[in-house]
Amino acid sequence: MKKLVIAVIVLAAGISLSLFLASGKAKPQPKAVSTPPAPLVDVLHSAAKKIRLRVKTQGTVQPRREIDIVSQVAGIIEHSDLRFASGAFFTKGSTLLKIEDADYRFALIRTEARIAEAEQLLATERARAAQANKEWRDLGQKDANALFLRKPQLASAKAQFLAAKADRSEAELNLRRTEIKAPFNSRIRNKYVDEGQYVIPGTPIAKLYSTDSVEVRIPLTDKQLALIDMPGAQTKREQAPKALLSAYYAGKKHQWQGRLVRTEASIDINSRVVYAIIEVEKPFQNTTSDNSRQSALEIGMFVEAEIEGLWLDNVIELPRLALQVDQKILILDDNNRLKFRAVEILQSDSQIVLLNGANFQAGERIVISNLPMAVEGMLVSPQLLTPQQTPPTEGSLSTENTLGKNTLSSTP
């Protein structure tokens, strides 16, 4: 009984202490719910412009003209130019190598002797024919026999004389062919022979390609073709679309100007793309217009190509960040609340997006900040930017109607 009484007393004391402590605690006071600040966003006023599109693609540099030089005569190569090696440059008419010509000089001398003999025979037959004519007239006959007048003999002598002259021309031609020359301004890609080697007609000497111009074969999809004013059969080179080629070489970025001059004769049956040709003149000229040095456009180099496209009116240009979820644009109403708007994208890259201005009213505020959690009607705090304050991008607008470092250009 004592233990039970003690337990009841302890329990009662604990309950009393708990009630006392609970009654002394301050009751929580209600607080007003604070409204979070509206997110700060960058906005631009919509302004339509006339913009020239740019089409980007890539390709590999290849020769415009490339041939195999072969020997047309037989003989031992007795001399070659000191520069006769892969990668060497030659101007048109430069001698690459010399084949031993003694046999061809001797042959030319023998043809001179045959010409002298044929000339003597022709003179003799002319005299005999004249004598036969005179004798026939003295006989008082009108119809003369051709054989008696020595007409066949005279014709044979003339033919032998002409044949001897043709042999001399052939001997002179073969003698000239012992010097193998560059047919145009060229560079050696591969050489196949060297001094002391015996060659016969048809032996490959070297593979040359022209240094006056090179080509870049680029693929164009159907959508890209629609953005370019493709040159026709009568289009002059200076009227063809400009193309800017760029590539990294020796750790530096280099650029070259070219023209989109033509398309190939058929569509690729595997990829269903059209291959076009960009032509670059003087690809190995190392000095640019501003007297700076640049790399040569080497054969086999992989390059990025940026081609002039069509001019489009009523175009809105925005930073790429302006595109929100589902490729939509955010517009601010008069109460600084967001509205989603579907747009027509004309062209875009990693930096810039071009939109059809028909979907906008002049002066509308367009949000160019990325808001992944944006909802319709959301209140924001706008910060208006001027075109000069717009974040710089690689594809910023240029006022020049030429290809340069910019991806897009517009009229002034």
Residue 400 has pLDDT above 60, yes or no: no
Predicted local distance difference test score (pLDDT) of residue 406: 34
Once rounded to an integer, what is the mean pLDDT over residues 204-219?
Answer: 95
d(CA 111, CA 284): 46
Q: What is the pLDDT of residues 340-350, one digit of tens each?
A: 999 988 888 88
Half-sphere exposure of 251 (CA within 13 A, CB side): 0
The reported pTM is: 0.70
In contact, 374 and 38? CB cutoff 8 Å: no
Q: Over the Cα atoms of the chain, what is R_g?
A: 44
Q: What is the pLDDT of residues 284-309, one digit of tens each?
A: 876 454 555 668 899 999 999 999 99
Half-sphere exposure of 409 (CA within 13 A, CB side): 19
| Max CA distance (Å), the chain | 190
Q: What is the pLDDT of residues 105-155, one digit of tens each?
A: 999 999 999 999 999 999 998 898 888 777 777 666 666 677 767 788 889
Residue 323 has pLDDT above 60, yes or no: yes
- Nearest Cα to Cα of residue 286 among 327, 316, 249, 336: 249
d(CA 397, CA 325): 25
Once rounded to an integer, what is the mean pLDDT over residues 47-51?
Answer: 88
Q: Please list the residues that pair with 382 across neighbouring strands.
A: 41
Predicted local distance difference test score (pLDDT) of residue 411: 32
Residue 272 has pLDDT above 70, yes or no: yes
d(CA 131, CA 122): 14
- DSSP code for 184: S
In contact, 303 and 44? CB cutoff 8 Å: no
Residue 211 has pLDDT above 80, yes or no: yes
Quickly state the pLDDT bin for 401 (edges 50, 70, 90): very low
Q: What is the DSSP string of 292-344?
A: -B-----TT-EEEEEEEEEEEEEEEEEEGGG--GGGEEEEE-TTSBEEEEE--
Residue 392 has pLDDT above 50, yes or no: no
